[in-house]
Chain A
Amino acid sequence: MEQRIGVFVCHCGINIASIVRISDVVKAIGDYPGVIHAEEYKYMCSEPGQSMIQKRIKEKKLNGVIVAACSPTLHELTFRNVAVRSGLNPYRCEMANIREHCSWVHHDKDMATAKAIRIIRSLVEKVKLNEELEPLAVSITKRALIIGGGISGIQAALDIANAGYEVILVEKSPSIGGHMAQLSETFPTLDCSQCILTPKMVEVAQNRNIKLYTYAEVDNISGFVGNFKVNIRLKASYVDWDKCVGCGLCIEKCPTKVSSEFEENLSKRKAIYVPFPQAVPNKPVIDREHCRYFATGKCRVCEKVCELKAIDFEEEDKVIEEDVGAIVVATGYQLYDIQKIGEYGAGKYKDVITGLQFERLLSASGPTGGEVKRPSDGKVPKRVSFISCVGSRDPELHKSYCSKVCCMYLAKQAMLYQHRVPKGKATVFYIDIRSDGKNYEEFVQRAQEEEKINFIRGKVSKVYEDNGELVLHAVDTLSGEPLEVRTDLVVLGIAMTPASDIDKLTKILKIQSDKDGFLTEAHPKLRPVESLTPGIFIAGCAHFPKDIPDTVAQSSASASKVMEMFGHKELSHDPMVAWVDEDLCSGCGICISLCPYDSRVLEIKEGKRIATVNEILCEGCGSCIAACPSGASQQRNLQDNQLLKMTDAVLSE
């Protein structure tokens, strides 16, 4: 093929032009073999710049284009689209990065100019050997899997289902609703959490596009974007939910009481139970670990009283397989372990409780019917102290990050306590108050001005029990006064951490998490709801602590990303993938163990072991190519011979 390459050199305003002598570059590169046209322009990415390239391609019958400008991450797509519009195969268009790799990092104009020329020359050599590739087409299963049935998963499921796509919602506990179902009233509007949540829970149950699996967990996932296969373990509930009508007689008669997870261990539930009255589905499960029959072989009272014969002690876990095209991970949070906070008693004082426990004490449906009574003796506390930043913002001993919602919920809890116990005295110990949401700061000011809640700036150092009271050692850092505060109840604004099984899930999904276990987004600003694995999205507190409005917004964003994907007929996949020269491949399999995407597979072809490439799975990372001992693994348009020519072009005078 005759090479008719055009080079377009961008000034990027003064970004490139102030260091690189553009005219010298154009002149030098215009004489380079294969280049038949070279030209400069102030802003190549602007509309006139793009039109200029388009015009030249047609005019000069160019069959290769190099845009010497910024980083390809920024504008490769822009200029490849110009190529497409001009009838040129987009993979015959490359960018030479003379900004980040040259003008931004050098001061000497002569040397920078010479370097820019070399960079462009190397790209000319690359384009000479670039194949005309076509994107790979991938079919899509237009069903989404949502993992986690809290407010985040509920929102994502409803959005996708209402757009007309099927959704599979998997929740590990017996009911959807998550932590939001436990909350009393929500800041800053003080609307009842359950009142706004339960209609959405019911909507999930009634939506024909949503298949709900509660008391279920994702065991395994294989496949790739658009084509995942999911194994879901339906944990044995020992109750046939098709037969059960939820009459509750079994629960009433069950003789075994255990601490209720939903009530944060402030009250008991039975071994056969529905977590809370508004649960969806409203069907009981038997907690095998605590059931008397499973422990001793005797009892079966629930079975005796169930007239519908819904109890089935023989039931076993079932694993089912579902096909989905996209996955939203919305596994939420849990609270940091109170036992790790030794200076506040490490959980040994009954009246030192977590924020979630206090929510249950405030909740009308909670163990005290919404009356604030302290756990130790059921008395109404006359004084309550709230401590913020417990385990948060503590890189030395606990978690380095700010858990984001504690300032607001502690202010809210102090306010609600003040409403319930008007003569009571609420004190909030804080370091900084973070109230950066709509109407949040006004809410905190109201707590201070109208409710006259005492906000003390200083971190409590120690809490201990003395004669039925709790004693706090603190200082007021603003006045410099040491304080010994006696109180009846202490509420800890304790750090939020990812759900305990997040590590297991990230391994199954092959997605990344940070040092604290929170899921990593593809880009912190521009791709905040995508994981780095195509087709897997993240939402809610699995990503980072956030409040309900932010969670709902992020979940809807994830849902819209899923819908964007489902809006296509098929997915296109970058064709710059690995391929294998079957004559050279010895089938050693080194590439298979190295491939992070499971795209390399050993096949027997005509009696010979060959490590083939599943092109759809390949992300073009190059690991297999670098490791291949025989040079059989190659990457399209980054072939060994291209790289050698490019190196020559850079090194030769």
Chain B
Amino acid sequence: MDNIIDKISDISGENIYACYQCGKCSAGCPSVEQMDILPNQVIRLIQIGRVELALKSNAIWVCASCFMCSVRCPRGIDLSKIMEALREIHLREDIDHIDIKDVRRENVYELPQIALVANFRKQTG
């Protein structure tokens, strides 16, 4: 499990152990209502070595990198990078979060390209 913590640190470039669990990230997260666990709990699970629980949470996919947590973190942790690292761990194992085939054709015409490209960039490998 240590290896995967190192991997998260390497990909994100962030120090997971700097977090003192004040919860300000979760308090300010605009998408927290849609998450199964709180953003601060994502870090907490990594801190206590339960990375598998963080990896299977939907929180890491709901996070859209709005950086609200990053700019307010008193310890200067960029949580959006940790979220990205957790997504990357799935994607690098070739496990996509969405199947592009599921996107309805009429939606494709309606949606702005940036929505589609951004979504595929973040949720497929």
Whether A482 lies near B33 (C-beta < 8 A) is yes
Chain A at the B interface: mostly helix, strand, loop or mixed?
Answer: loop
Of the candidates B21, B27, B37, the one whose C-beta lies within 8 Å of that of A460 is B27
Q: With contacts A461-B72, A480-B37 known, is A389 near B22, CB below 8 A?
A: yes
Q: How far is the CA of A395 from the CA of B22 in the complex (A)?
A: 13
Whether B76 lies near A475 (C-beta < 8 A) is no
User: Range of interface residues on chain B?
Assistant: 20 to 34
Q: How far is the CA of A173 from the CA of B26 in the complex (A)?
A: 44
Of the candidates A389, A394, A398, A461, the one whose C-beta lies within 8 Å of that of B27 is A461
Interface string of A449-464 (1 = CB under 8 A from B): 0000000011111100
Interface string of A461-487 (1 = CB under 8 A from B): 110000000000111110010110000
Distance from A630 Cβ to chain B, minimum over Cβ atoms (Å): 52
Distance from B63 Cβ to chain A, minimum over Cβ atoms (Å): 14
Q: How far is the CA of A474 from the CA of B25 in the complex (A)?
A: 9
Whether A473 lies near B75 (C-beta < 8 A) is no
Q: Which residues of A contact B25 (CB under 8 A)?
A: 461
B38 at the interface (CB under 8 A from A): yes
Q: Which residues of B contact A482 (CB under 8 A)?
A: 26-27, 32-33, 38
- Chain B residue at minimal CB-CB distance from A480: B38
Whether B75 lies near A459 (C-beta < 8 A) is no
Q: How far is the CA of A125 from the CA of B77 in the complex (A)?
A: 56
Q: With contacts A343-B28, A480-B38 known, is A457 near B23, CB below 8 A?
A: yes
- Chain A residue at minimal CB-CB distance from B77: A396
Whether B27 lies near A462 (C-beta < 8 A) is yes
- Chain A residue at minimal CB-CB distance from B37: A480
B124 at the interface (CB under 8 A from A): no
Q: How far is the CA of A99 from the CA of B74 in the complex (A)?
A: 42
A1 at the interface (CB under 8 A from B): no
Of the candidates A396, A473, A477, the one whose C-beta lies within 8 Å of that of B74 is A396
Whether B20 lies near A475 (C-beta < 8 A) is no
Q: How far is the CA of A461 from the CA of B69 in the complex (A)?
A: 9
Q: Which residues of A contact B38 (CB under 8 A)?
A: 475, 477, 480, 482
Q: How far is the CA of A628 from the CA of B122 in the complex (A)?
A: 66
Distance from A305 Cβ to chain B, minimum over Cβ atoms (Å): 54
Whether B40 lies near A477 (C-beta < 8 A) is yes
Whether B27 lies near A475 (C-beta < 8 A) is yes
Whether A396 lies near B73 (C-beta < 8 A) is yes
Distance from B29 Cβ to chain A, minimum over Cβ atoms (Å): 8
Whether B24 lies near A459 (C-beta < 8 A) is yes
Whether B72 lies near A431 (C-beta < 8 A) is no
Q: How far is the CA of A397 from the CA of B70 in the complex (A)?
A: 11
B41 at the interface (CB under 8 A from A): yes
Q: How far is the CA of A397 from the CA of B38 in the complex (A)?
A: 23
Among B25, B27, B75, chain A packs the most CB atoms within 10 A around the CB of B27
A393 at the interface (CB under 8 A from B): yes
Q: How far is the CA of A496 from the CA of B37 in the complex (A)?
A: 35
Distance from B62 Cβ to chain A, minimum over Cβ atoms (Å): 13
- Chain B residue at minimal CB-CB distance from A431: B22
Q: Which residues of B contact A394 (CB under 8 A)?
A: 74
Of the candidates B28, B68, B74, the one whose C-beta lies within 8 Å of that of A395 is B74
Q: How far is the CA of A475 from the CA of B32 in the complex (A)?
A: 10
Q: With contacts A461-B28, A482-B27 known, is A393 near B21, CB below 8 A?
A: no
Interface string of B86-122 (1 = CB under 8 A from A): 0000000000000000000000000000000000000
Whether A477 lies near B26 (C-beta < 8 A) is yes
- Chain A residue at minimal CB-CB distance from B75: A396
Interface string of A291-315 (1 = CB under 8 A from B): 0000000000000000000000000
Q: How far is the CA of A398 from the CA of B74 in the complex (A)?
A: 8
Q: Which residues of A contact B75 (CB under 8 A)?
A: 395-396
Whether A458 lies near B27 (C-beta < 8 A) is yes
- Chain B residue at minimal CB-CB distance from A476: B23
Q: Which residues of B contact A459 (CB under 8 A)?
A: 22-24, 27, 74
Q: With contacts A393-B74, A394-B74, A396-B73 known, is A431 near B27, CB below 8 A?
A: no
Distance from A397 Cβ to chain B, minimum over Cβ atoms (Å): 7
Q: Which residues of A contact B21 (CB under 8 A)?
A: 431, 477
- Chain A residue at minimal CB-CB distance from B33: A482
Whether B40 lies near A395 (C-beta < 8 A) is no
Q: Which residues of A contact B20 (CB under 8 A)?
A: 393, 431
Whether B22 lies near A458 (C-beta < 8 A) is yes
Interface string of B21-55 (1 = CB under 8 A from A): 11111111100110001101100000000000000
Q: How far is the CA of A458 from the CA of B23 in the complex (A)?
A: 5
Whether A343 lies near B32 (C-beta < 8 A) is no
13 pairs of residues in contact across A and B, judged by CB atoms under 8 Å: A393-B74, A398-B74, A431-B20, A431-B23, A459-B27, A460-B24, A461-B25, A461-B26, A461-B29, A473-B27, A475-B23, A477-B21, A480-B38
Chain B residues in contact with chain A, CB under 8 A? Answer: 20-29, 32-33, 37-38, 40-41, 68, 72-76
Given contacts A393-B74, A473-B28, 13 further A-B contacts (CB under 8 A): A389-B22, A395-B74, A395-B75, A397-B74, A457-B23, A458-B27, A461-B25, A461-B26, A461-B68, A462-B27, A475-B38, A477-B38, A480-B37
